[in-house]
Amino acid sequence: MFNINIKESTTEQLYSAVLAYTQDKIADVESVSGDRTVYYMSAEFLIGKLLSNNLMNLKIYDEVAAELAKYGRDITELEQYEPEPALGNGGLGRLAACFVDSIATLGINGQGLGLVYHYGLFKQVFERNLQTEVKDVWLDKPTWLRKTDFSTTVKLGDLNVTSRMYEMDVLGYNNKKSVLRLFDLESIDDTVITSGISFDQSEYAKNLALFLYPDDSTEEGLRLRFAQQYFMVQSGLAWILKDRQDHLHTLNEDIVIQINDTHPSLTILLLFKELLNHGIELQEAIKIVENTFAYTNHTILAEALEKWPLAYFEAIDPSLVAIIKQLDEVVKNRSADKRVVLVDENNLVHMASLAIHFSYSVNGVAALHTDILKNSELKHFNDLYPTKFNNKTNGITFRRWLAFSNKPLTAYLDGLIGNDYMSDADHLEKLLAYREDKDVLNTLIDIKHGNKVRLQNYLKQTQNIDINPDSIFDIQIKRLHEYKRQQMNLLYIIHMYQEIKAGLILDRPLTVFFGSKAAPAYTIAKDIIHALLTVSKIIENDPVVSKQLQVVFVENYNVTLAEYLIPAADISEQISLASKEASGTGNMKFMLNGALTLGTLDGANVEIAELVGEDNIYIFGEHSETIIEHYAKADYVSRDYYENSTLIKDAVDFIVSDLMLELGSKENLKRLHHELISKDWFMTLIDLEDYISVKNEMLKAYEDREDWSQKTLVNIAKAGFFSSDRTIMEYDRDIWKTNKY
């Protein structure tokens, strides 16, 4: 099968052979096709490992595994050897990966466009209970990327660099394939890296494709980030327009460019430039551009709404400045409202504004998020363009997040209700017929336990962590950000520690898991990690508390870890401050795998709650309207909460207790303590008491094992709505209109 001596070969040789074999098989798979092409442009594609997923989609996983086993080799050896591509950061990147999977599965004529990052965001290493960052090396092993003949010159000021296109096939479930096209810098040179992830930020010809989201805490870093985006969109647009120079007048009939957040929004300006250079009049160019682009907004956080100084444009491509000024006039003619300006009084170009004025669709990623965009954050734009705004609630691919990562549950579901849910996810509802069936409920409990043991083995092997599979698994995995409130979970843990010290005995041990990276320059986020790691050690060292409570912070959280953690979860922590989490997609993965949500009414949690009903979800906290009002009135004072509740005060003060200071770093802990009391911008303390009481209610509810299992069954059965196939069908039906759906 693989033209190599399977028994004797090294892991690398065997991996290369199986990779080549799989790529050969993929070559025979039909590509998506159609009249109109969709380009999904994204700075991130968090695709995860591909070998087993591809083998499963080709339906040859068992066959390949059996062939290896004949010679005493285990396919898991290859699965573990395969590096995870370091091409993304969080939810936005993982969403892009799920979307390309669904595009392939549905046979829509779409492809992803982005960048190769040689060292990703960073690899997280814990040292002295602090996050440190080193480069995430993944291109030193055989890869799925294929070099192509397509290259283009990108001009950055006086500098010319060559961008080379690489391709990676993405297999759909029904044997169609799509493709990811990622651009790399030919002259890349990693000797500019000095230590960790620090590097000479000025040498664009060497550094542009080294890291995702280079440090934005300095002016030089910001300029580099801008240059990197320019490199991405210039390359992408060169590819898009390759054979279309003669059809520019009808471009918008042939293609759609969906831009994933504002990172690729410079493409809009570059297309203007191209059209104007071809002698097309401004008015016609506006019509073409406006009917070509669609924009997805993924966040309302001000820090993420990009604004670039005109000087950056001037330095890299001065011709864009004149275009921006023309477009600024166009915008001013459309509206005198200062809140929709393209260029503000500080000469900052608002990229979201560019994307909204010059696209035909603007979508949010969950119902509540879209409502907030329309009614508050982007209200003035919605008033101007009421038909542009629409909602597309996010989704996840069930191939990776169920079939691949939870094989026992998948096999059981297939036997019970058939497997048509894999192509039409609503069929999962057939499971509801078994909600009173004790055998089914008990089997779900057994499957969950099996997945906990699987996680136990994996964590022991990879991180030397010991966990108790008979405890309740409570899991919070997501980027570290104050709005996601990992610090609220920290305060819960501290509170429980104090209760247990005072004599409380839990019905059953609790294990609280975290997995999370903090942006390298985000000080408070790193302080939260430090506090959690420190508390974890204190608990571990305590002979009494450690029997009942354990805190596990897995190092370097990534897609692969998620694939082990999610199937093992009992409690899914979705505790963002209401209004701040645009959607969340982890929440959907947990639900599909039979974990119950502990969450605020935020993002897609709202839709989960509507689907499963209030008996099958644990909701707490203030509602988004209340929170939005607090921000408007600026009347939230964290110190009041701290001073008026001994529970809150005791938990918060523990952060700077002798016990903590003995093990942890004074500087980090004091800063976090101070932040919580004197600022707490994301209102941790407003919901803390409610959070503690609902979480404890959940621990009690867990003890009625059958009832709990029934709730998990309802969650699984109702997860069909969150298939990314549904999401992509809606994009196609309402935005892309390729005539497929």
603 lies in the site for ligand 26V, by CB under 6 A: yes
**Look-up of token digits 């604004």:** 307
Rounded to a whole number of angstroms, the minimum distance from the CB of residue 430 to ligand 26V is: 28
Output the CA–CA distances (angstroms, integers) from residue 639 to 127, 649, 685, 693, in the order listed.
32, 9, 9, 21
Return the axis-axis angle of helices 724-731 and 91-106, rounded to nearest 10°: 80
298 lies in the site for ligand 26V, by CB under 6 A: yes
Chain centre distance of CA 127: 25
611 lies in the site for ligand 26V, by CB under 6 A: no
Residues with active-site annotation: 298, 478-479, 484, 585, 589
Among 48, 85, 90, 120, which residue interacts with ligand 26V (rule: CB under 6 A)? 90
585 lies in the site for ligand 26V, by CB under 6 A: yes
Rounded to a whole number of angstroms, the minimum distance from the CB of residue 505 to ligand 26V is: 37
669 lies in the site for ligand 26V, by CB under 6 A: no
Which three-class secondary structure string do you get for 644-713? HCHHHHHHHHHCCCHHHHHHCCHHHHHHHHHHHHHCCCCCHHHHHHHHHHHHHHHHHHHCCHHHHHHHHH
Query: In this structure, how many other beta carbons lie within 10 angstroms of the beta carbon of residue 310?
Result: 16
User: Hey, what are 74's tokens?
Assistant: 């285990």
Q: What is the rounded CA–CA span in Å between residue 350 and residue 378? A: 13
Among 201, 229, 299, 684, which residue interacts with ligand 26V (rule: CB under 6 A)? 299
Binding mask 119-158 for ligand 26V (x = CB under 6 A): ----------------------------------------
Among 92, 251, 444, 685, which residue interacts with ligand 26V (rule: CB under 6 A)? 92
CA proximity to 91, closest of 725, 421, 580: 580
Residues in binding contact with ligand 26V, number by CB under 6 A: 19
- The C-alpha angle 686, 688, 689, rounded to 5 degrees, equals 105
Query: In this structure, how many other beta carbons lie within 10 angstroms of the beta carbon of residue 8?
Result: 9
Does the CA dihedral 536-541-545-549 come out positive or negative? Answer: positive
Rounded to a whole number of angstroms, the minimum distance from the CB of residue 530 to ligand 26V is: 18
Give residue number: closest CB to ligand 26V: 91
Rounded to a whole number of angstroms, the minimum distance from the CB of residue 574 to ligand 26V is: 10
The residues with which 309 forms a beta bridge, in sequence order, are 348
User: Which CB sits closer to ligand 26V, 163 or 585?
Assistant: 585
User: Which CB sits closer to ligand 26V, 406 or 583?
Assistant: 583
Rounded to a whole number of angstroms, the minimum distance from the CB of residue 171 to ligand 26V is: 22
597 lies in the site for ligand 26V, by CB under 6 A: no
Q: Which of residues 491-530 bind ligand 26V (CB under 6 A)?
A: 519
Among 274, 474, 499, 581, which residue interacts with ligand 26V (rule: CB under 6 A)? 581
Q: What is the rounded CA–CA span in Å between residue 529 and residue 525? A: 7
Cβ atoms of 95 and 718 within 8 Å: the answer is no
Which three-class secondary structure string do you get for 440-485? HHHHHHHHHHHHHHHHHHHHHHHHCCCCCCCCEEEEEECCCCHHHC
- The C-alpha angle 37, 559, 142, rounded to 5 degrees, equals 75
Cβ atoms of 416 and 713 within 8 Å: the answer is no
Span of 53-61, 407-415, 537-545, 578-586 interacting with ligand 26V by CB under 6 A? 578-586
548 lies in the site for ligand 26V, by CB under 6 A: no
User: Which CB sits closer to ligand 26V, 92 or 238?
Assistant: 92
Span of 84-92, 246-254, 701-709, 718-726 interacting with ligand 26V by CB under 6 A? 84-92
User: Hey, what are 455's tokens?
Assistant: 């996680």
285 lies in the site for ligand 26V, by CB under 6 A: no
533 lies in the site for ligand 26V, by CB under 6 A: no
Cβ atoms of 350 and 373 within 8 Å: the answer is no
Rounded to a whole number of angstroms, the minimum distance from the CB of residue 423 to ligand 26V is: 24
Q: What is the rounded CA–CA span in Å between residue 681 and residue 606? A: 23
Among 48, 395, 567, 584, which residue interacts with ligand 26V (rule: CB under 6 A)? 584
Span of 72-80, 139-147, 580-588, 631-639 interacting with ligand 26V by CB under 6 A? 580-588
The residues with which 472 forms a beta bridge, in sequence order, are 510
Among 41, 78, 340, 365, which residue interacts with ligand 26V (rule: CB under 6 A)? 365
Rounded to a whole number of angstroms, the minimum distance from the CB of residue 300 to ligand 26V is: 9
Span of 91-99, 337-345, 549-557, 666-674 interacting with ligand 26V by CB under 6 A? 91-99
Kindly write down the DSSP assignment for every residue of 549-576, as one continuous string: EEEEEESS--HHHHHHHGGG-SEEEE-P
Rounded to a whole number of angstroms, the minimum distance from the CB of residue 580 to ligand 26V is: 8
Rounded to a whole number of angstroms, the minimum distance from the CB of residue 521 to ligand 26V is: 8
Q: Which amino acid is at 284?
A: E
471 lies in the site for ligand 26V, by CB under 6 A: no
353 lies in the site for ligand 26V, by CB under 6 A: no
User: Which CB sits closer to ligand 26V, 357 or 589?
Assistant: 589
Among 37, 42, 57, 89, which residue interacts with ligand 26V (rule: CB under 6 A)? 89
User: Which CB sits closer to ligand 26V, 394 or 579?
Assistant: 394
86 lies in the site for ligand 26V, by CB under 6 A: no
Query: In this structure, how many other beta carbons lie within 10 angstroms of the beta carbon of residue 250?
Result: 11
Rounded to a whole number of angstroms, the minimum distance from the CB of residue 301 to ligand 26V is: 8
539 lies in the site for ligand 26V, by CB under 6 A: no
Rounded to a whole number of angstroms, the minimum distance from the CB of residue 611 to ligand 26V is: 17
Q: What is the rounded CA–CA span in Å between residue 431 and residue 417? A: 7
Q: What is the rounded CA–CA span in Å between residue 176 and residue 58? A: 10
Cβ atoms of 109 and 32 within 8 Å: the answer is yes
Q: What is the rounded CA–CA span in Å between residue 236 and residue 39? A: 9
Radius of gyration from C-alpha coordinates of the chain: 26
599 lies in the site for ligand 26V, by CB under 6 A: no
User: Which CB sits closer to ligand 26V, 201 or 299?
Assistant: 299
User: Hey, what are 237's tokens?
Assistant: 């647009």
User: Which CB sits closer to ligand 26V, 298 or 350?
Assistant: 298
User: Hey, what are 120's tokens?
Assistant: 């990703």
Q: What is the rounded CA–CA span in Å between residue 496 and residue 13? A: 50
Span of 150-158, 161-169, 296-304, 665-673 interacting with ligand 26V by CB under 6 A? 296-304
Output the CA–CA distances (angstroms, integers) from residue 370 to 363, 392, 419, 602, 736, in the order listed.
7, 8, 33, 12, 19
Binding mask 211-250 for ligand 26V (x = CB under 6 A): --x-------------------------------------
Rounded to a whole number of angstroms, the minimum distance from the CB of residue 133 to ligand 26V is: 12
Q: Quick one: 546 exposed, middle or buried, by C-beta within 10 A (0-12, 13-18, 19+)?
A: middle
Q: What is the rounded CA–CA span in Å between residue 117 and residue 96? A: 16
Length of the chain: 741
Binding mask 388-417 for ligand 26V (x = CB under 6 A): ------x-----------------------
Q: Which of residues 300-319 bind ligand 26V (CB under 6 A)?
A: 304
Q: Which of residues 195-214 bind ligand 26V (CB under 6 A)?
A: 213
Query: In this structure, how many other beta carbons lie within 10 angstroms of the beta carbon of residue 603?
Result: 30
User: Which CB sits closer to ligand 26V, 112 or 584?
Assistant: 584
710 lies in the site for ligand 26V, by CB under 6 A: no
Rounded to a whole number of angstroms, the minimum distance from the CB of residue 704 to ligand 26V is: 32
Tell me how far apart the terminal alpha carbons of the chain are, to the nearest angstrom. Answer: 39
Binding mask 250-269 for ligand 26V (x = CB under 6 A): -----------x--------
Q: Which residues bind ligand 26V (CB under 6 A)?
A: 89-92, 95, 213, 261, 298-299, 304, 365, 394, 519, 581-585, 603
